[in-house]
Amino acid sequence: MRSRDGNHSFTLRLCTIIILSSFALNAGEYLISYKYIVKNDVLFNESLDISKSMKKCRGIPAQTLILPANEQNNFVKLISHHRQEFIDYIHQLGLDIRSKDTTTNNQINSTTIITLKTTCFKVDFNDNFVKISHLKQP
């Protein structure tokens, strides 16, 4: 069976569509925010929030982290397994720092809040590895 333009067969076109859609299904976009609070040089609170993006993110993939893939292609589980590596990667992207020290009658109270604002990441699941890319706003 020949297509209307006469160059590509119908089977080839169908295979291309299936392959491309399978690639698209394996790639996902996630919104991640991270925050930790240090009070008087002791870690007070730490939170890492991960959520699948409900709409397409805009941006160019910038810095990339490659992690070994797990069996289920579950991003949250993957991050929980490689938490420290992912947090080190987040630190490289740039974090917002807010620090307040109050000294009252020579007694100091310090609070430092470090935040990564909600950022979109593109995640590509492959056979052996997962590629996480930070989407930089154009």
Partner 1 sequence: MKYSLILISLLYMTACAAQEKKAVPEVPVNKAETIAVPNNTTINVTYKDEKKSKMCPAKTQHPMTKQKKDVLSIHEPLIISVVGQGVAPVNTTSPAQAYALAKRAATADAYRLIAEKVKGVSVDGQDLIKNMMVKRSTVRTSVQAMVRNANIVETTFKDGLCEVEMEITLSHSDFAQ
Q: Mind giving me the DSSP string for 33-73?
A: EEEEEEETTEEEEEEEEEEE-SSPPP-EEEEEEEEE--SS-
Residue 71, both tokens? 């069996």
Q: Any contact of residue 48 with partner 1 (CB under 8 A)?
A: no
- Residue among 100, 96, 116 nearest 33 (CA): 116
Q: Which of 112, 124, 131, 135 binds partner 1 (CB under 8 A)?
A: 112
Q: Any contact of residue 66 with partner 1 (CB under 8 A)?
A: no
Output the smallest distance, CB 11 to partner 1, in A: 50
Output the smallest distance, CB 119 to partner 1, in A: 13
Output the smallest distance, CB 78 to partner 1, in A: 19
Residues 91 to 110: which contact partner 1 by CB under 8 A? 91-106
Q: Which residue has the tokens 């959520």?
A: 51
Q: Any contact of residue 54 with partner 1 (CB under 8 A)?
A: no
| Contact (CB, 8 A) for 35 and 47 | yes
The site for partner 1 (CB under 8 A) is made up of 36, 38, 41-43, 46, 84, 91-106, 112, 114
